[in-house]
Structure 1
Amino acid sequence: MAENEAAKPTAPQMRVLGQYIRDMSFENIMAQKGAAADVQPDVQVQVNLDAKKRTADKQYESAIKLNVTSKAKEGDTTLFLLEIDYVGIFHIDNVPEEQIHPFLLIECPRMIFPFLRRVVSDITRDGGFPPLNLENIDFMSLYRNEIARRQAENPPKADA
Structure 2
Amino acid sequence: MADTPETAENGAAQQTAPVKMNVLAQFVRDLSFENILAQKGAQGDVQPDVQLQVNLDAKKRTTDHQYEVIMKLQVNSKAKECGDMLFVLELEYAGVFHIENVPDEQLHPFLLIECPRMLFPFVRRIVSDVTRDGGFPPLNLETIDFLQLYRSELARRTSAQPAETANA
Shift of 1:102: 0.3
Q: CA deviation at 1:8?
A: 2.1
* 1:108 maps to amino acid: C
* Residue aligning to 1:55: 62
Tell me which residue corresponds to 1:26: 33
For residues 19 and 153 of structure 2, the distance between their equivalents in structure 1, rounded to whole angstroms, comes to 24
Query: Match for 2:145 among 138, 152, 158?
Result: 138
- Distance in 1, matches of 2:128 and 2:96, equals 22
Structure 2 unmatched ranges of 5 or more: 1-11
Measure how far apart 1:89 and its partner are: 0.6
CA displacement, residues 58-80 of structure 1 (integer Å, 9 cap, x when unaligned): 00011111010000011001000
What residue identity is the alignment partner of 2:18?
A
Opposite residue 67 of structure 1, the aligned amino acid is Q
Q: 1:52 to 1:34 in 2, by over 3 A?
A: same
Deviations 1:38-94 (CA, angstroms, capped at 9, x unpaired): 111110000111100011110001111101000001100100000001111100000
1:147 maps to amino acid:
L
Aligned length: 154
Write the deviation string for residues 25-45 of structure 1: whole angstroms up to 9, x where unpaired.
100000000011311111000
**Partner deviation per Cα, 1:133-154 (whole Å, 9 max, x = no partner):** 0000000000001111111111
Q: Give the distance between the partners of 1:52 and 1:43, measured in 2 at CA.
A: 30
Question: Corresponding residue for 2:134?
Answer: 127
After TM superposition, list the pairs within 5 Å mapping 1:1-160 onto structure 2.
4=13, 7-155=14-162
One-letter amino acid of the counterpart of residue 8, structure 1: Q
3-state DSSP of counterpart to 2:49:
strand
Identity of counterpart residues, as a percentage?
A: 66
Moved over 2 A (4+): none
> Using the alignment, how far apart are the partners of 2:48 and 2:25 within structure 1?
34
TM-score, length of structure 1 as denominator length: 0.92
For 2:21, what is the secondary structure of its paired residue?
A: strand
Distance between the aligned counterparts of 1:121 and 1:65, measured in 2? 16
Larger Rg: 2
CA-to-aligned-CA distance 1:101-149 (integer Å, 9 cap, x gap):
0000000000010000001000000101000000000000000011111
1:24 and 1:85 map into 2 onto residues whose CA distance is 6
Q: Which amino acid aligns with 1:149?
A: R
